[in-house]
Amino acid sequence: MDAKGKNAVISILIEVAIYAVLIVAYFFLALHFLGDWLAQIYERDRRIYAVAALLLIVGQGLLLETLTTALLRWIRSKRD
């Protein structure tokens, strides 16, 4: 494998590790801070709960992508 291939594999492994840490942190933070609120919404109106859950999913995706991109740029700048 050439140097570009090794760098690509290393970048992917770093990205997966960062995603794993961020997803676990997000899960516990969302559970801690939003768990009761989401349970109340679920009991009142499931349609509003569905919309809130979808917005949280989209927000999580955008936040994780932004954080991962910024972290990878920072890591690459430190390696070069």
What are the tens digits of pLDDT across the range 7-59? 778 878 887 888 888 889 888 998 899 999 999 999 999 999 999 999 999 99
Domain residues for the domain of 64 are: 3-79
Q: What is the pLDDT of residue 79?
A: 67
Q: Which pTM was predicted? A: 0.69
CB atoms within 10 A of CB 67: 14
pLDDT surpasses 90 at 65: no
User: Bigger pLDDT: 48 or 79?
Assistant: 48
Q: How far apart are CA 8 and CA 14, in angstroms?
A: 10
Number of domains in the chain: 1
Q: What is the identity of the amino acid at 50?
A: A
**Residue 68 corresponds to which tokens in the numbers above?**
């991962």
Measuring CA to CA, which residue among 64, 75, 80 is closest to residue 11?
Answer: 75
